[in-house]
Structure 1
Amino acid sequence: MDTTPTTLTTAADSAAPAVHLISFGFLHGPVPEADLVLDVRRWLHDPAAAKAILDLDGRDARVQQTVYGTPGAVELVEHAVHAAGVAHRGERVLAFGCAGGRHRSVALAELAAGRLALRGYRVSLEHRDVHRPRVLRAATTTTEPDRREPRDLYFEAPNYYLPQPGDAPAVFLAGGITGCPRWHDHAAAVLAAAPEPVVVLNPNRADFPIHDPAAGWEQVSWEQHHLHLAETTTLFWFPACDPAVTVQPIAMYELGQALGEGRRIVVGADPGYPRVADVRMLCQLAQPGLPVHSTLDDTLAAVLDALPHPAEAALAAA
């Protein structure tokens, strides 16, 4: 078996955007510096438990088949591929981490590298810990964080939500953030109190690192990933604001994007929002008959009415 670290660089146009992918193990040193670090322990079971692949690594087709077949694996890779395409200066660095750095992280980095190369990126691939011996852990200890349970219904940027079969319906809270009141807190509380469980996806993080140059890219990547999750309902709320401070241009862009793509949305705009007429006009042109609600509570009520009932969700999944 190969016991040396692996580094691969794909052949591509020298002018093509560059992406460096790293696989690593949390048990073998510090987390590498990267624009985005994906802790796959939280989403995918450890395939090393299968004796047939115990002594193999993620470069082997048998390991890849096991990892790729795990629910959420392909979606995780698609997120990484999407993140690589978000406007960013210089080389993008994306890291996949699992416990030992031999199975899950390696297989997912390999899959991401192939997809990025097909899209014309210059891809370099580094398997930092694949050469290290398999880690034997005592039965009473574990490095695996608890995987998400159905009771985990609130996800705030930059924490990622990856859907699992049987999850409650999800609602993304889109709309004004900068220069606006924190309406997201009220919306999350109302949805949390709904009669049926609702997964809430909140982009308005409690403490945004405004002085971190990479934070903006991380934020946009998080928002685009969750806005495009299948079966997610997006709530757009445009609160009243001072036009000298903001007119919420990013929210307007995301609304136009959602309308153009035909995604499931519910829209509301406070009469005090400076561009409320534009919101109404845009909605009527793109989706005639789509209501634009005038209060946040009315918008939330419409969202709850629009969510699939348990019986409908069961039929859709059947």
Structure 2
Amino acid sequence: MTGTTGMVHAGVLYSTPAQLADQLSLRVGTALAAGEPVVAVLDAANRSALVDALGADAAAVEFQDPARVHSVPAFTVAVRWARLTRRVETPGVRTTVIGQHVPDLPGCDPGYWARLDAALNVTLHGLPITMLCPCPIRGELVAQARSTHPTLLADGHSAPSASYRDPADVVAEYPPPPPPDLGPPTAELDFRSPELPAVRHLVASVSTQAGLATERIADFVLAVNEIASNSVEHGAGTGRLRLWIWATGVTCEVFDTGRMTVPFPGMVAPAPSGERGRGLWLASELSDVLQAWSDEGGTVVRLFVER
């Protein structure tokens, strides 16, 4: 698929590791011969089969551990692949990512893979990336793959999926699980517009206490300020800020009683002429994880920044 323009997002249906390797090796070899980066996120059996099929070329592939890649929410994984693609600055060079659907991976709820693929269709749109998603041939998994991938590869043949669905419809069917209880916060503050400076000060103070680097603190303060300002300007006019310190970083939560109807919050940069959505996108870019939940009871946005 080297030489095409824009995103290619294909589900790769397979029965055995050897069959999968046969389907992937030619495409990977072509990309490597063109000097293009290839990243593979595969379980041990499929990785071994692909390495055997590629031979010496396997050394040029960046293999990543599925458990590590998918230790964050599905939307965050999609955003990270988009960022990886945007960092490749050479004109005409595509990124190839092999992202296996790993059934029963710890921490991934039943709708995880559907949300991930829907998000990839949004975040990668127009980018020079080939995203190949190996999916084992199981009844429910195949049906899901057909609905979330514009293209399907099977037995070496590529064809458009006749069952492809709009990404927003997919996420409506497989919404993220509700926000987990994080326990008593390290600090909290109710705020309105006049308290926004106090919001920024509290975030900076807790982040300093947590040992974040100075530049990370500045990014985090700006990210939280964008979300809190949204609560004041576009939400209920008031909100609640809560912060937690962990061994790995800091979580900030902003809650308000307004309703947000954005299906993919912070995942795509708004149009230059538009004003709405800029705050969520900027907050996502400045943090390591952004999650949002919204229903009749209000909207919760959580940001996480690593140490």
Flag whether TM exceeds 0.5 (same fold).
no
Higher share in helix: 2
Computing the radius of gyration from Cα coordinates, the structure with the larger value is 1
With normalisation by structure 2, the TM-score equals 0.29
Higher share in strand: 2
With normalisation by structure 1, the TM-score equals 0.28
